[in-house]
Structure 1
Amino acid sequence: MNILQALFFPPEQPGGVSSMVPYIQERFMKLGWQMELFSLPKRVRGKGQEDVVFETFDWTEFSGNAMVDKYIQTYRDYVWWTRLRLNRPFDIIHAHHPIAALVMKQLFPDTPVAMTIHSSYERELILNGKIEEGGPEHQFLMKIYGELEAKTDQLLTVSESFRSYIAPQVKHPERIKVIPNGFDEKRFRPSAHENEVTQLITVCRLVPAKGLDILLKACAELKRRGNPFVLHIIGDGPIREELEALAVELDLYDDIIFYGYMLHPEEFMPFFDVFVLPSRAEAFGSVFAEAALCWLALVGTNVGGIAEQIDDGVNGLLVPPEDPIALAEALEKVVTDPSYRYNLARAGWDKAKKVYSLQRVISQLKKVYINLKPE
């Protein structure tokens, strides 16, 4: 079977989806399946000119809005690039972004298209202060879910919580399959080590949705209580300067290291002790599974896919979002009790190996592909 994996970002771009799909390709090709990756290069902007028509709603009602117009132009660019680069058929197309899915179905209407919805773009924009909840941009993006249901042959998503989130936007939410992300265990090499001072690490894009302002306030409380630590922040983004200023304001600058973007943080993570990320929303939160496979204790917020990965008090700790005191108390537990921290990390590693293995994803995707296009 010949399958096209249609991405939005190129595989070398940061992010759980882009980094995971090449490993899926490698595993399928070892099984004798043909699989190619396709994405829109950053240099392709403003090329497409074709009209865009959706089946379930009239997008022109939202035209004149900068975000919507940019989205539609990106759709046109994806059409232009696909026409230019893809000139042979595939048995199945598996898309990982709404634009990729809708364009592929438009250009290859007779080819089964599966679409994995990995995250809520509109929720991220709201949390990052880019659009208003209930505003025209939000309405436009929510209508895309119904368009995806109408156009694609199989919708998939990465967590039960995210399926519940999009359920009001589709006619048949029960038909959406949930396949949590999986990870190639060979990429992760836990390392035995002893750190005199507890080393905390977080890995994310530096945007408001990730809740790093809450993390810094929690760390200030942790320090006030007399608990030594070092916080390592891997990632970059538009609020880096703001976070650095907040660290200075909270008298934390000597306790925090800002690294910027790193291509393979999993090579770095095993030498730390605790992974913490107080996201305000998260469809899945791939980095938690990755940190668990590095044998780190997990501390996260009780939102979205994070809450499906962490059983509070068993393989990690969950706290409410927007609550720096609760986060500080959770961090205090793992900072002051190495045995408790070790047991959480061990349980997290066990669950991640069993539930979030790449082999499990391959097995589930094989069933989806065979159902879409029986041999």
Structure 2
Amino acid sequence: MRILQALFFPPEQPGGVSSMVPFMLDRFNKRGWEMELFSLPKRVRGKGTGEIRFSTFDWEPYAGHPVVDKYIQTIKDYIWWTKMRIKSTYDLIHAHHPIAGLVMKQLFPDTPLIMTVHSSYERELVLNGKIPADGPEHAFLTSLYRELEEKADQLITVSNSFKHYLSEYVQEPERIGVIPNGFDEKRFRPVHHENQVPQLISVCRLVPAKGLDTLLHACAELKRRGQPFVLHLIGDGPIRTELEELAQQLGIYEETIFYGYMLHPEDFMPFFDVFVLPSRAEAFGSVFAEAALCGLAVVGTNVGGIAEQIEHGTNGLLVPVNDVQALATALEKVIGDPMYRYQLSRVALEKALKTYSMTRVVQQLRNVYRTYRKAPPAE
């Protein structure tokens, strides 16, 4: 059975999906499946031409808005690149981005399409202040979910929370499958260590949706309470300068280290004590599972897929979104009590190994793929 895994970003790009799919593909190929990766290189911009049509809505009333125009052009570019590069046929296509899914079904209408929706682009844009909630760009992007439902043979998402979110925009939400992300256990190696000063770490793109301003304010509160710490921020993004200035204003710049982008943060994470990320929204929150697999105690916000990964007080701590005092108190609790921190991290590691292993994902996807296996010809 020949399967194409269609990404949007190239595999070397950061992010849960791009870092997960190549490892998943390797597992399948070692078991005798034939799989290939496909994605759109960054250098392909403005190449595609032609008319774009959707079967469930008319996109042209939204034309003229930069986000919409860029999205449409990217679809054209993906079509152009796909026609240039794909000369083979496949028994099944598994797409991991709406653009990849829509293009593949347009160009290969007779090939079964599995579509995994990993995150909400429109919600990220709203939280990052790029588009207004319920504006034309938001309406365009959410209309794509109905289009995907119409075109894909099977819709999958990564958490029950995100399935509930999608249910507002599709006709048959009960048909959406849920397969949480999985991670190659061999990549993560917890390390026994003792840090005299508690080490906090956060790994994410530096954008407003991740709530790092709340984290910095919470760390300033920790300092006011006399709690020593060092905060390590791995990642880059448009608000890095703003966050560095905020750390200075709050008097915690000496306790905060900005690393910028790092290709393999999982090699670095096991030497810290607590992973914390007060996101304002997460469809799944892959980095929490990765932190748990690294043996860290985890602290997150009670939203989306984070709340499905963390059982408060058992394998981590949950706090409300934008609540500086609650976050500071949670951090104080885990960094001030090493035994409690160890207990949280041990249970988190056990759950992550059981629930978010790549072995589990491969098994679930194998069952889905076999549904579309062609029957042998009758003799």
Please give the alpha-carbon distance, in whole angstroms, between the structure 1 residues aligned to 2:21 and 2:250: 40
Q: TM-score, normalised by structure 1?
A: 0.99
Identical aligned residues as a percent: 71
The match for 1:328 is: 328
Amino acid corresponding to residue 65 of structure 1 in structure 2: H
One-letter amino acid of the structure 2 residue matched with residue 186 of structure 1:
K
Q: Secondary structure at the match of 2:308?
A: helix
Question: Which ranges in structure 2 are unaligned for 5 or more consecutive residues?
Answer: none
SS in 2 for 1:200: strand
Question: Is 2:138 aligned against 1:145?
Answer: no
Q: How does 1:1-375 map to 2 (within 5 A)?
A: 1-375=1-375
Give the match's secondary structure for 2:131. coil
CA distance in 2, matches of 1:296, 1:232: 14
Instruction: Tell me the amino acid that sits aligned with residue 373 of structure 2.
Output: K
Aligned counterparts of 2:129 and 2:297: Cα–Cα separation in 1: 31
Amino acid of the residue matched to residue 222 of structure 1? L
Tell me, in whole angstroms, the C-alpha distance in 2 between the residues paired with 1:59 and 1:370.
Answer: 35
Deviation by residue 1:66-97 (Cα, 9 ceiling, x = unmatched): 11011000000000000000011000000000
For 2:112 and 2:31, the matched residues in 1 are separated by 21
Q: Deviations over 1:229-250 (max 9, x none)?
A: 0000000000000000000000
SS in 2 for 1:279: coil
Query: 1:214–1:324: 8 Å Cα contact kept in structure 2?
Result: yes
Structure 2 Cα separation of the partners of residues 348 and 24 of structure 1: 22
Q: In the aligned structure 2, how far is the partner of 1:204 from the partner of 1:262?
A: 10
Counterpart-to-counterpart distance in 2, 1:3 and 1:295? 34
* Letter paired with 1:113: L
Q: Deviations over 1:32-61 (max 9, x none)?
A: 000000000011000100211100000011
SS state at 2:167 partner: helix
Q: How many residues are treated as equivalent by the alignment?
A: 375
User: For residues 45 and 143 of structure 1, what CA distance do their matches in structure 2 show?
Assistant: 24
The one-letter amino acid of 1:152's match is A
Q: After TM superposition, give the deviation of residue 372 of structure 1 in Å.
A: 2.1
In structure 1, C-alpha distance between the alignment counterparts of 2:78 and 2:21, rounded to whole Å: 19
Give the residue type in structure 1 aligned to 2:228: P
Counterpart amino acid of residue 134 in structure 2: G
Give the Å deviation of 1:374: 4.2
Query: Counterpart amino acid of 1:335?
Result: I
Residues of 2 paired with 1:22 and 1:178: CA distance? 20
Say what the alpha-carbon RMSD is for the aligned residues. 0.5
Give the superposition deviation at 1:64. 1.1
Tell me how far 1:168 sits from its aligned partner.
1.2
The alignment partner of 1:130 has SS state of coil
Partner SS state of residue 194, structure 2: coil
Distance in 1 separating the partners of 2:11 and 2:160: 26
Deviations along 1:147-179, one digit per CA (max 9) or x if unpaired, are 000001000000000000010111111110000
Contact 1:52 1:76 in 2 (8 A): yes
Unmatched 5+ stretches in structure 1: none
Q: Using the alignment, how far apart are the partners of 2:50 and 2:24 within structure 1?
A: 33
Q: Deviations over 1:230-286 (max 9, x none)?
A: 000000000000000000000000000000000000000000000000000000000
SS in 2 for 1:233: strand
Q: What SS is found at the alignment partner of 1:169?
A: coil
User: What is the letter of the counterpart of residue 234 of structure 1?
Assistant: I
CA shift, 1:65, in A, is: 1.0
**Whole-Å Cα distance in 1 between the matches of residues 335 and 351 of structure 2?**
22
User: For 1:289-312, what per-residue CA distance to the aligned partner results, in whole angstroms no more than 9, with x for missing partners?
Assistant: 000000000000000000000000
Aligned equivalents of 1:115 and 1:121: distance in 2?
Answer: 15
The amino acid of 1:99's aligned partner reads I
CA distance in 2, matches of 1:236, 1:311: 29
Say if 1:112 and 1:373, in contact at 8 Å, map to a contact too. Answer: no
Amino acid at match of 1:90: Y
Give, in whole Å, the separation in 2 of the partners of 1:60 and 1:372. Answer: 35
Q: What amino acid is aligned across from residue 296 of structure 1 in structure 2?
A: L
